[in-house]
């Protein structure tokens, strides 16, 4: 039986109120299927627009087997390419980022324009057609300061995602926000365990003392049901909507995008030890840094969850490395003119989530050790505490089943 057939059989037999079987977290063949059917076909959060401030600015990342480079072109547009020379495949840009991209292959010096066109190729003869050897371009979309890419030859329609993210993220003007700090950690766990841990706060009180000071562990906050019946949340939505901030819980029809603005605990307005604003200058002039707008919680499977407050925003990017290793990159964004030491302390800005990320890293590692045991059997989800986990697992299962039922499972062609 092929891996695809076995996965389809196991998903079809799965009890809907329980997690995934062991092989979904440990088997490298299932991991390759995850890459093929999800990460190589879906829209992925890559970076923030403000990280590419001028023509020539670039940023690199690795998605599975694909090295990728994002470049701001002379026209101002941001483009995404496979970061490999069209001659013999050498990687072009080795650094993580820079402000003066030289798209020159270090191997044989083939040289490319910022828009991907081949500019020069040494000693290739009079009949050589440079126009046939532009860099492989990927689908690339920007919305509300976020850059999304898709590796598939034909990308899913992005219009609904654009509309939802524009409405919720737009008021915060994140396209201009500056990345004040960035942290990348490796979690020794399957990417789905990283997401499952994020999608519930059943574990928060006993594991996240810093976060628990300001972030409610109520399932109506972290899950996908009950928020509209919670009077505290409904009143918070009313308050924020009156300020012109879309706030009510919204889940996209395919289950892959969720946005909702949730209150923090008590009088807290930010993720700090005191609950006070971490940044004296708000992200945008229309919202005071100490405004009681809580946190906009937004996730987009399979690569990002976000917390956007009045004074700063935090983005998280998930990239799978192997069946049991996942890269998590966290970025803290502030007003473009906010200065460290004057408008904020870096420790106060980042302390809560740096501690939380480290705690979650250990949680996921221990989770992976447990599910790797040949004796592991998934238990039932806690209701209502784990409705978010259940929703993620259902999204994942439905996504794979839909593709596998159509006979998908061959290598994806890059656009």
Edge to edge, what strands does the sheet with 304-308 contain?
178-187, 325-334, 313-322, 304-308, 295-300, 257-262, 250-251
Average model confidence (pLDDT) for the chain?
Answer: 95
Could you count the other beta carbons within 10 Å of the beta carbon of residue 27?
A: 18
Beta strands at 178-187 and 325-334: parallel, antiparallel or unpaired: antiparallel
- For tokens 């290739």, the residue is 124
Q: 129 falls in which pLDDT band (50, 70, 90)?
A: very high
Q: How confident is the model at residue 102 (pLDDT cuts 50, 70, 90)?
A: confident
Mean pLDDT, residues 117-130: 94
CB 217 within 8 A of CB 223: no
> Which phi and psi angles does 368 have, rounded to 5°?
-65, -40
Lowest mean pLDDT across 21-25, 368-372, 398-402, 411-415: 411-415
- Residue 215 CA, chain-centre distance (Å), reads 20
- What pLDDT is attached to residue 408? 52
- Per DSSP, the residues of 102-139 read --B-TTT--EE-TTS-EEE-TT--TT--GGG-PPPEEE
Average pLDDT of the segment spanning 63-83:
97
Q: What tokens does 406 get?
A: 């159509």
pLDDT, residue 415, reads 56
pLDDT score of 361 more than 50: yes
| Paired tokens of 343 | 């408008």
334: tokens are 């502030």
**Helices 346-371/191-198 angle, 10° precision:** 120
Q: What is the mean pLDDT of residues 143-153?
A: 98
CA distance 314 to 146: 12
Query: 207 by DSSP, 3-state: which?
Result: helix
**Is the model's pLDDT at 411 over the cut of 70?**
no
Going by pLDDT thresholds of 50, 70 and 90, the confidence category of residue 16 is confident
Q: How many CB atoms lie within 10 A of CB 65?
A: 10
Question: CB atoms < 10 A from the CB of 343, how many?
Answer: 19
Tokens standing for residue 376: 């592991």
Question: Using a CB cutoff of 8 Å and minimum separation of 24, what contacts does 352-355 make?
Answer: 352/210, 352/211, 352/213, 352/214, 352/271, 352/272, 352/273, 353/211, 353/271, 353/307, 353/314, 354/183, 354/330, 355/208, 355/210, 355/211
pLDDT tens by residue, 220-263: 999 999 999 999 999 999 999 999 999 999 999 999 999 999 99
Residues 308 and 246: beta-carbon distance below 8 Å:
no
pLDDT digits (tens, 9 = 90+) for 159-200: 999 999 999 999 999 999 999 999 999 999 999 999 999 999
pLDDT, residue 284, reads 87
Instruction: Please check whether residue 250 is in contact with residue 408, taking contact to mean a CB–CB distance below 8 angstroms.
Output: no
Q: Closest Cα partner for 38 from 191, 140, 184?
A: 191
Helices (H) and strands (E) in the chain, counts: 10, 16
Q: For residue 132, with 0-12 CB atoms within 10 Å meaning exposed, 13-18 middle and 19 or more buried, which class applies?
A: exposed
- pLDDT at residue 412, as a whole number: 46
Q: What structural domains and CATH numbers belong to the chain?
A: 1-42+172-415 (3.90.380.10), 44-150 (2.102.10.10)
Region 82-88: what's the mean pLDDT?
A: 97
Residue 410's pLDDT band, with cuts at 50, 70 and 90, is very low
């Amino acid at each position: 039986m092929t891996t695809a057939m076995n996965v389809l059989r196991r998903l079809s037999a799965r009890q809907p109120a329980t997690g995934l079987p062991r092989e979904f977290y440990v088997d490298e063949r299932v991991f390759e299927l995850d890459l093929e059917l999800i990460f190589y076909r879906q829209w992925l959060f890559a970076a923030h627009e403000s990280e590419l401030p001028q023509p020539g600015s670039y940023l690199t990342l690795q998605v599975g087997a694909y090295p990728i480079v994002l470049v701001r072109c002379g026209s101002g547009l941001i483009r995404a390419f496979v970061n490999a020379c069209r001659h013999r495949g050498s990687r072009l840009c080795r650094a993580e980022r820079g402000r003066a991209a030289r798209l020159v292959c270090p191997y044989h010096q083939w040289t490319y324009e910022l828009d991907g066109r081949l500019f020069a190729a040494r000693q290739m003869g009079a009949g050589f057609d440079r126009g046939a050897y532009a860099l492989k371009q990927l689908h690339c979309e920007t919305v509300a300061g976020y850059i999304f890419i898709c590796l598939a030859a034909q990308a899913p329609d992005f219009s609904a995602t654009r509309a939802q993210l524009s409405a919720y993220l737009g008021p915060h003007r994140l396209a201009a926000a500056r990345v004040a700090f960035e942290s990348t950690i490796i979690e020794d766990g399957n990417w789905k365990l990283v997401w499952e841990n994020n999608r519930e706060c059943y574990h928060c009180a006993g594991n996240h003392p810093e976060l628990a000071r300001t972030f409610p562990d109520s399932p109506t906050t972290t899950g996908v049901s009950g928020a509209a019946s919670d009077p505290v949340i409904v009143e918070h939505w009313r308050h924020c909507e009156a300020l012109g901030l879309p706030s009510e819980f919204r889940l996209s029809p395919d289950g892959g995008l969720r946005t909702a603005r949730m209150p923090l605990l008590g009088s807290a307005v930010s993720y700090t030890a005191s609950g006070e604003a971490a940044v004296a200058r708000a992200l945008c002039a229309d919202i005071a840094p100490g405004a009681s707008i809580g946190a906009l919680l937004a996730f987009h499977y399979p690569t990002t969850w976000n917390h956007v407050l009045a004074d700063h925003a935090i983005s998280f990017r998930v990239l799978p490395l192997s069946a049991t290793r996942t890269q998590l990159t966290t970025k803290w964004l502030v007003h473009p003119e906010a200065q460290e030491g004057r408008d904020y302390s870096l420790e106060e800005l980042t302390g809560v989530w740096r501690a939380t990320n480290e705690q979650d890293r250990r949680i996921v590692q221990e989770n992976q050790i447990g599910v790797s045991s040949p004796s592991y059997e998934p238990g039932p989800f806690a209701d209502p505490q784990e409705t978010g986990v259940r929703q993620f697992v259902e999204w994942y299962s439905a996504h794979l089943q839909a593709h596998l039922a159509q006979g998908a499972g061959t290598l994806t062609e890059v656009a």
